[in-house]
Amino acid sequence: MRLSVNGTPHDVSADPGTPLLWVLRDVIGLTGTKYGCGVGLCGACTVHVNGQPTRSCSITLGDLDGAQITTIEGIGTPEHLAVIQQAWIDNQVAQCGYCQSGQIMSAVALLAATKTPTDSDIDAAMDGNLCRCGTYPRIRAAIHDAAKRLQGA
């Protein structure tokens, strides 16, 4: 199977039934995407597949030949954080941090589709991304903050 992950082509030799999550972590070596529930309900494993937020534990390699995959590692660098990552830091969103890569990937997709999201837009886009620490108000604040920064306000 051929995949583009964060803009880099990869020829992946693995069973077509292997979930994308394990291809990313165990085959390609990108460990920013986390295992949460394994059934696509918690959102910890969210990545973008062809620009759409997707639970990587629930889609298999066999469904992805030629796909464009973006992981948390692909949206910013340690030297130049993505706007959403900086908003996450400035709004002190993370506590344990385990769910945050999936939360951020869902937020990035929302902001790509909706430049000025309402609270209802945020709630709908983030539905299914669970945070056991309960930082939902800070997540919402960070998304609003990032939207303002992206608009130059």
Contact indicator for 84, 75 with CB cutoff of 8 Å: yes
101 CB contacts (<8 Å, ≥6 apart)?
32, 33, 34, 44, 46, 71, 72
CA 18 distance to own-chain centroid? 19
DSSP-derived letter for residue 7 is: T
Q: Is this model's pTM higher than 0.75 or not?
A: yes
For residue 153, pLDDT beyond 70: no
Mean pLDDT of 129-150: 95
Taking the C-alpha atoms of residue 108 and residue 87, their distance in angstroms, rounded to an integer, is 12
Radius of gyration of the chain (CA): 15
Sheet hosting strand 8-11, strand order edge to edge: 8-11, 2-5, 68-70, 46-49, 52-55
148 CB contacts (<8 Å, ≥6 apart)?
none
Handedness of CA 35, 79, 139, 116 (dihedral sign): negative
pLDDT tens digits, 26-47? 999 999 999 999 999 999 999 9
- Looking at residue 21, what is its pLDDT? 98
Domains and CATH numbers, the chain: 2-74 (3.10.20.30), 83-150 (1.10.150.120)
- Looking at residue 136, what is its pLDDT? 96
Taking the C-alpha atoms of residue 64 and residue 41, their distance in angstroms, rounded to an integer, is 20
